[in-house]
């Protein structure tokens, strides 16, 4: 971006010469305006805030030195001035030094000297701009560090206390929104948050830990202590844009000062826990709505574990399902603390795995199908945990009831239906295994047993079959058909099509 230059001289021909003779653009400047005396120059400087002013000394109404003196008196010390003077005005030029004039040029102007002086001014402005930017970054980093300490309720230094007091004055009230997001998806979340929340002056986004972010918002509007409607709308927009991956957001209490911002963070954490029982992903919890809802302990955990393991021992799938449903209902009704619920279910899954391992021969490799995947426990909801228990149960009883084809067909048919519905998307065996809570290797074996072919072969068959149908319609280009049936790469589509049909798409159209 070019620096702005204002030209002031009472002689029109001199102004015209300054504008035409000097290569302003190549020197990094643009001439924003020209005027003929110091009084008018003051008005234009207030209006345009130029970076550089070239001004003649001798002018009617208000001369150049009087104008510079008044501009400095108003507190504007960053503006660069180059004064234009004749030999008889040299003493005036010397006096200008006390007004921090950056340079002077003698009339008539030497074009080469003038260009050199302006280039030097440009370099000084760039250096000052860089220093200002570095200073702003350093200040922002200090604000973020101090803000994080305040959020954690740590005792601040005298300097930190003073900084928080100063920042507090920039808004009427303060509030914290906590965002829980997977570490793997933090980059995408951060980009979206910066885009949607951009433009807010009183806003801090602070990473508390790998999976937790604090958004500290200052509401500048006076009024009752209530979350700003505009801020809430922005958070809801952010939540909608995050559809497709999991995040949870919670708003804490409103505080009048940053000295008490840790209270807002603590209440936001309490509200965030209640997302565990929410069926809707990316919802926003508000402490004001749930502050009277308390969590409880579940005192029947041992009995529940015995009931689940007993169902496995008796190979009683109905009783297993009933036990899992009771776990869900009782946990939801009692509002068991999320940490306790997660620990219980994960422990139960390990107990089930240990039981299944004991039922297998020592040299059997089938136990791998019961391995529990690495989980981001903090983001698991009750629905997730119950889904894992149901899926684990299906796999366990399918193994235990080797003679029962019905059990195996049930889940495979469900998976086949899903593949037939979503084959045009970027399906992979890994995505399917995550959706149906099955080990990828075991899922692949189930599909081969049911279909006689592997997952990839089935996927390509479905896509090529649909491509043939679209080719017969003769409405789309081959590349468009490739995308419609799920191929991101046209050459990959061509290879699979020719492999199955024995001809190219163009040849197929002619048949």
CATH number for the domain harbouring residue 14: 3.40.50.2300
> Tell me, what CATH number does 199's domain have?
3.30.70.270
Pairwise CA distance, residues 394 & 407, whole Å = 8
Task: Please report, rounded to a whole number, the percentage of residues in the chain having pLDDT higher than 90.
Answer: 38
Which is higher by pLDDT, 194 or 42?
42
- Specify if 269 maps to a domain: yes
Q: pLDDT tens-digit profile of 361-384?
A: 554 555 565 565 566 777 888 998
Which residues span the domain enclosing 114?
3-129
- Specify if 144 maps to a domain: no
Q: pLDDT tens-digit profile of 456-496?
A: 999 999 999 999 999 988 888 898 999 999 998 889 999 99
Q: Where are the beta strands (DSSP E) in 98-234?
A: 103-106, 173-181, 203-209, 212-219
- Specify if 208 maps to a domain: yes
Q: Rounded mean pLDDT of 341-369? A: 77
Q: Do 221 and 321 belong to one domain?
A: no
Q: pLDDT tens-digit profile of 248-301?
A: 889 999 998 999 999 999 999 999 999 898 766 667 889 988 888 888 888 888
- Specify if 221 maps to a domain: yes
Q: Do 81 and 109 belong to one domain?
A: yes
Q: Do 435 and 376 belong to one domain?
A: no
Mean residue pLDDT across the chain: 85
Q: Do 204 and 259 belong to one domain?
A: yes
Q: Do 120 and 203 belong to one domain?
A: no
> Tell me, what CATH number does 500's domain have?
1.10.10.60
Total domain count, the chain: 4
Q: Please report, for the chain, how many H helices and E strands are present, in that order.
A: 21, 10
Tell me what pLDDT residue 268 has: 94
User: Could you say which of 273, 290, 307 is where a domain stops?
Assistant: 290
- Specify if 137 maps to a domain: no
- Specify if 86 maps to a domain: yes
Q: pLDDT tens-digit profile of 434-446?
A: 888 776 776 787 7
Q: Is the pLDDT of residue 403 over 50?
A: no
Tell me what pLDDT residue 407 has: 44
User: Could you say which of 402, 428, 458 is where a domain stops?
Assistant: 402
User: Could you say which of 402, 430, 446 is where a domain stops?
Assistant: 402
Helix-helix angle 440-451:455-473, to 10 degrees: 60
Q: How many other C-beta atoms can be found within 10 angstroms of the C-beta atom of residue 480?
A: 12
Sheet holding 103-106, edge to edge: 29-35, 3-8, 52-56, 80-85, 103-106
Q: pLDDT tens-digit profile of 133-167?
A: 887 788 788 888 999 999 999 999 999 999 889 88
| Residue 53 contacts residue 79 (beta carbons within 8 Å) | yes
Q: Do 20 and 79 belong to one domain?
A: yes
Q: Do 303 and 396 belong to one domain?
A: yes
Burial of 92-122, coded b for 16+ CB within 10 Å and e otherwise, reads: bbeebeebebbbbbebebeeeebbebbeebb
Residue located via tokens 């003779």: 21
Q: Do 302 and 172 belong to one domain?
A: no
The CA-atom distances, in angstroms, between 187 and each of 45, 228, 340 are 43, 26, 30
The token duo for 92 is 């005036």
Q: pLDDT tens-digit profile of 37-83?
A: 999 999 999 999 999 999 998 898 998 889 999 999 998 988 999 98
Q: Rounded mean pLDDT of 205-231? A: 75
């Amino acid at each position: 971006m070019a620096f702005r230059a204002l030209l002031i001289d009472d002689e029109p021909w001199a102004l015209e010469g300054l504008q035409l003779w000097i290569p302003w653009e190549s020197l990094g400047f643009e001439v924003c305006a020209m005027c003929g005396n110091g009084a008018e120059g003051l008005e234009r400087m207030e209006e345009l805030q130029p970076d550089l002013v070239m001004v003649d000394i001798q002018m009617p109404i208000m001369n150049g030195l009087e104008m510079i003196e008044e501009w400095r008196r108003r507190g504007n010390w960053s503006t660069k001035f180059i004064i234009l003077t004749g030999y008889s005005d040299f003493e005036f030029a010397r006096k200008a030094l006390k007004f921090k004039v950056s340079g002077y040029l003698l009339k008539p102007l030497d074009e080469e000297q003038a260009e050199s002086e302006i280039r030097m001014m440009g370099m000084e402005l760039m250096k000052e701009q860089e220093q200002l930017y570095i200073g702003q970054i350093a200040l922002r980093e200090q604000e973020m560090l101090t803000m994080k300490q305040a959020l954690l309720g740590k005792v601040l230094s005298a300097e930190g206390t003073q900084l928080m007091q100063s920042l507090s004055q920039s808004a009427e009230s303060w509030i914290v929104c906590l965002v829980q997001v997977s570490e793997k998806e933090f980059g995408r979340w951060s980009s979206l948050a910066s885009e949607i929340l951009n433009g807010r002056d009183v806003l801090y986004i602070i990473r508390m830990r790998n999976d937790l972010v604090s958004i500290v918002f200052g509401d500048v509007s006076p009024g009752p202590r209530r979350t700003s409607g505009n801020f809430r709308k922005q958070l809801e927009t952010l939540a909608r844009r995050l559809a497709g991956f999991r995040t949870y957001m919670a708003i804490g209490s409103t505080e009048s000062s940053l000295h008490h911002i840790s209270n807002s963070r603590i209440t936001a954490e309490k509200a965030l826990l209640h997302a565990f029982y929410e069926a809707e992903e990316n919802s926003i919890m508000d402490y004001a709505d749930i502050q009277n809802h308390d969590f409880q302990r579940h005192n029947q955990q041992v009995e529940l574990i015995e009931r689940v393991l007993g169902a496995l021992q008796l190979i009683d799938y109905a009783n297993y399902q009933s036990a899992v449903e009771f776990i869900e209902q009782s946990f939801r009704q009692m509002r068991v603390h999320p940490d306790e619920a997660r620990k219980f279910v994960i422990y139960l899954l390990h107990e089930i795995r240990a039981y299944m391992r004991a039922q297998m021969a020592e040299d059997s490799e089938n136990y791998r199908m019961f391995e529990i995947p690495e989980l981001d426990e903090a983001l698991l909801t009750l629905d997730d945990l119950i889904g894992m228990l149901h899926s684990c149960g299906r796999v366990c009883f399918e193994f235990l009831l080797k003679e029962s084809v019905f059990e195996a067909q049930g889940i495979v048919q469900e998976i086949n239906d899903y593949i037939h519905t979503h084959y045009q998307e970027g399906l992979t065996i890994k995505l399917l295994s995550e959706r149906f809570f099955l080990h990828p290797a075991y899922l692949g074996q189930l599909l081969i047993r049911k279909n006689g072919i592997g997952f990839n072969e089935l996927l390509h068959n479905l896509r090529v079959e649909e491509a043939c149908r679209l080719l017969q319609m003769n409405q789309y280009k081959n590349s468009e058909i490739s995308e419609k049936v799920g191929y991101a790469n046209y050459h990959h589509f061509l290879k699979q099509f020719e492999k199955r049909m024995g001809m190219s798409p163009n040849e197929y159209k002619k048949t």
